[in-house]
Amino acid sequence: MNHTETIEREQQSLFQTYKRLPVVIDRAEGCRIIDVDGNVYLDFLGGIAVNALGHSHPRVVEAVTYQARRYMHVSNFFYQEPQVKLAEQLKGISGYDRVFFSNSGAEAIEAAMKLARRHGSRNGVYDIVGFTGGFHGRTYAPLSIMDKPLYKEGMGPFLPNTMVLPYNDIDAFESRVDEHTCAVVLEFLQGEGGIAEASSDFVDAIVAARERYGFLLIADEVQAGIGRTGDFFAYEQYGIRPDIVVVAKSMGGGMPLGAVLATDAVASLFDRGMHGTTYGGNAVACAAGSVVVQEVMDGLLEHVRSIGAYLHSALELLARTYPQRVAGVRGRGCMQGLVLHEEAAPVVAALLERRVIANATAGNVVRIVPPYIITRDDVDAFVAAMEDVLRG
């Protein structure tokens, strides 16, 4: 495998939809990615907040291999133990009654929005609300409640009865949400939006409006969920309970897997045959998911909290040392952002030259979403590289 040749062949054969890093992967282990020239990179992007247990975690590999040998895909015409096991794990942790499995975050959000419309259709109520800075996926339903012009340009019209309101703006929310609203979709900690947190007043206002109007509150935990923030779900910080919780990314341990968690009452809005997918709940993906969820509950959550606090204070020290370049630090656990006074993309490119991988989001934020298994040495290496870049 040759670095330049692979890049050239990619450019000739694939849709040019991705801005790829100039790295051709050979393999990846733990928190490290190794390219075809033998360069080793410290991975603080983790497959965009996916590889919670790092790359090719031995227990995930074992579970996937075991399941692949038994069977990989049989379709949802059949009862499958790996699905049932993972659903029971998620129920036990979350207290929700039922789980629907999808292949991705977008599909799970799509399912949640369909549930919301079913909920509202009983009273002729159809409006679904999203917020600025939110990211929910690239299919039409999620895009309809997002404000990203690049992702929507020339692709409309989008779903009717959808709107995007300003994040954390209580007045705007209260003036637009009413008895016509069937759902509000919220990232309690926005990932792509720049690791931006919902204020507790804002969440209280949403919950008060839910009581008044009876809409469903859908928590998009695709990026923040499954322990990434140090809580199993980011919404736990607010002491409230969403009606629907959507997860994906970290749960699959690198396999494509998403899920919708809901109460019996909400889950029963779908009758048999009303919703489904060929691959959703794929046995191999669920086998990987079971390992991830178990590892998170068997001590990793505490580690995310403590390593997250360590990372946070190191980043804050950087912010204090380079106030002319760093505006602040946001987020917690393994989901943090270094907010710059400048574009983040050149900083991220300079990190890559130092063999450290992170990513730029929301223009001026370096998004730091490493595997949960990072050590203090990994954090020190990341921060040293960042400091080297900031020093200029």
> Least separation, in Å, of the C-beta of 65 and ligand PLP?
24
**Is 192 a residue that touches ligand PLP (CB under 6 A)?**
yes
**Is 198 a residue that touches ligand PLP (CB under 6 A)?**
no
- Residue closer to ligand PLP, measured from CB, 106 or 129: 106
- Residue closer to ligand PLP, measured from CB, 224 or 293: 224
> Least separation, in Å, of the C-beta of 385 and ligand PLP?
24
**Is 135 a residue that touches ligand PLP (CB under 6 A)?**
yes
The enclosing H or E element of 49 equals helix 46-49
Could you give the CA distance from residue 294 to residue 298 in angstroms, rounded to a whole number?
6
- Residue closer to ligand PLP, measured from CB, 280 or 383: 280
Stretch that binds ligand PLP, among 31-39, 172-180, 185-193, 207-215 (CB under 6 A): 185-193
The enclosing H or E element of 162 equals strand 162-165
- Residue closer to ligand PLP, measured from CB, 131 or 135: 135
- Residue closer to ligand PLP, measured from CB, 83 or 250: 250
In sequence order, what E strands does 315-370 have? 326-332, 335-340, 356-357, 359-361, 365-368
Q: What single string gives the DSSP state of each residue in 242-271?
A: -SEEEE-GGGGTTS--EEEEE-HHHHTTSP
Looking up tokens 């096991």 gives 85
> Least separation, in Å, of the C-beta of 196 and ligand PLP?
12
- Residue closer to ligand PLP, measured from CB, 245 or 293: 245
- Residue closer to ligand PLP, measured from CB, 242 or 381: 242
Binding-residue total with ligand PLP (CB under 6 A):
14
Report the 3 state secondary structure along 178-221.
Answer: CCCEEEEEECCEECCCCCEECCHHHHHHHHHHHHHHCCEEEEEC
Of 220, 231, 295, 378, which one interacts with ligand PLP (CB under 6 A)? 220
Could you give the CA distance from residue 75 to residue 68 in angstroms, rounded to a whole number?
14
Q: Please list, in sequence order, all residues whose beta carbon lies within 8 angstroms of the beta carbon of residue 135, skipping any fewer than 6 positions away.
A: 146, 148, 187, 190, 191, 192, 193, 223
- Residue closer to ligand PLP, measured from CB, 136 or 210: 136
| Structure-token pair, residue 316 | 């804050």
Of 80, 23, 49, 71, the C-alpha closest to 253 is 49
Fill in the amino acid letter for 130.
G
> Least separation, in Å, of the C-beta of 134 and ligand PLP?
7
Percent composition of the chain: helix, strand, coil (DSSP 3-state, to 5): 40, 20, 40
DSSP state of 93: H
**Is 35 a residue that touches ligand PLP (CB under 6 A)?**
no
DSSP state of 139: S
**Is 226 a residue that touches ligand PLP (CB under 6 A)?**
no
- Residue closer to ligand PLP, measured from CB, 257 or 356: 257
Stretch that binds ligand PLP, among 68-76, 78-86, 186-194, 288-296 (CB under 6 A): 186-194
**Is 136 a residue that touches ligand PLP (CB under 6 A)?**
yes
> Least separation, in Å, of the C-beta of 248 and ligand PLP?
5
SS3 state of residue 99: strand
**Is 223 a residue that touches ligand PLP (CB under 6 A)?**
yes
Burial 7-42 (b: 16+ CB within 10 A, else e): eeeeeeeeeeeeeebebbeeebebbbbbbbeeeebb
Find the binding residues for ligand PLP in span 297-336 (CB under 6 A): none
DSSP state of 126: -
**Is 255 a residue that touches ligand PLP (CB under 6 A)?**
no
Stretch that binds ligand PLP, among 35-43, 133-141, 168-176, 381-389 (CB under 6 A): 133-141
**Is 137 a residue that touches ligand PLP (CB under 6 A)?**
yes
> Least separation, in Å, of the C-beta of 224 and ligand PLP?
7
Find the binding residues for ligand PLP in span 66-125 (CB under 6 A): 104-106, 109
Residue with the shortest CB distance to ligand PLP = 105
Could you give the CA distance from residue 58 to residue 36 in angstroms, rounded to a whole number?
22
The residue ranges that bind ligand PLP (CB under 6 A) are 104-106, 109, 135-137, 187, 191-192, 220, 222-223, 248
